[in-house]
Amino acid sequence: MTSEVVKYTQEQVDEIVLTAVVRATGKVNGQPVHIHKCTNGHAWFCASPYCEDVTDNPVKACENHGGKPPILRGMGRP
Ligand SMILES: [Zn+2]
Ligand SMILES: [Zn+2]
């Protein structure tokens, strides 16, 4: 029997932890957020109050992969 240790990068660990926190509380740093699925395949979190219902359409590219920056409260009208 060989025991293999699965190694995660810090980025992956952050995403796993953050995903668990958001699933449990719906918040990050006290801000309500929701989960989008990037067209690139990873999950990301969005604090925009102006998003459409993400349960119907969770796929949305993040800023790093060609998406538009989320519109946050206090940034003015879209
Ligand atoms: Zn959103
Ligand atoms: Zn992305």
Which pLDDT does position 4 carry in this prediction?
A: 86
| Cα(39) to centroid(ligand 2), Å | 6
Q: What band does 75 get if pLDDT is binned at 50, 70 and 90?
A: low
Ligand of minimum distance to the alpha carbon of 72: 1
pLDDT single digits (tens) 22-73? 889 988 888 888 889 999 998 888 888 888 777 777 899 999 999 988 888 7
pLDDT single digits (tens) 5-27? 889 999 889 888 888 888 899 88
Residue 67, CB-side half-sphere exposure with 13 Å CA sphere = 18
Specify the long-range contacts of residues 8-15, CB closer than 8 Å, at least 24 apart. 15/42, 15/43
| Cα(40) to centroid(ligand 2), Å | 5
| Cα(42) to centroid(ligand 2), Å | 6
Which pLDDT does position 66 carry in this prediction?
A: 95
62 CB burial (10 A radius; 0-12, 13-18, 19+): buried
